[in-house]
Amino acid sequence: MLTKRAHRSESVTSSSLAAWNRPLTATDLEELERLLAESGVGGAEEITQAKTESNGLGLFVRSLVGLDRGAAKTALAGFLDRKPLGANQIEFVGLIVDHLTEHGVMPASLLYESPFTDVSPRGPDGLFSLTQVEELIEVLDRLRGTAIAA
């Protein structure tokens, strides 16, 4: 099976992939698949298995290379710029940036698990208004969408 370690050791331009905060096209994914196959990281069967288990090659690659910290902050910039945040809110958003940097995408359900509940036992609901929580979820969904071919 393709692994994070194997992929990084054969780096298929992982730094440029991490900076992608734009929707991937079918052509992008075809090129990624070709690069993975040519790099010897995995054969066609392993690539197919990784695509299946990760709900697509784009999400698989994003999970391997993460998201550039700057791209993660840019994605959250609109949310951060709307109104001043308190210390716990800033810490909470920082945890989101950390997760995105490491994993590339983040399901909204994780906002209600540790380490987020270590900052606020009720997750984002204990720190933000309903509108703000919905905004955070929209950002996470949008980032996930950029890893799926348009």
Summarize pLDDT for 78-137 with one digit per residue, the tens. 888 888 999 999 999 999 999 999 999 999 999 999 999 999 999 999 999 999 999 999
State how far the alpha carbon of 22 is from the alpha carbons of 41, 52, 87, 148, in Å. Answer: 25, 22, 30, 10
In sequence order, what are the residues at sequence separation of 6 or more whose Cβ sits closer than 8 angstroms to the Cβ of residue 40?
Answer: 10
More confident residue, 28 or 38: 38
**Positive or negative: CA dihedral 101, 104, 111, 82:** positive
Region of poorest pLDDT, from 22-26, 34-38, 43-47, 102-106: 22-26
CA atoms of 134 and 82, how far apart (whole Å): 14
Q: Which contiguous run of DSSP H or E holds residue 44?
A: helix 44-53
Determine if the pTM surpasses 0.85.
no
**Positive or negative: CA dihedral 20, 21, 25, 30:** positive
Average of pLDDT values for 4-14?
Answer: 43
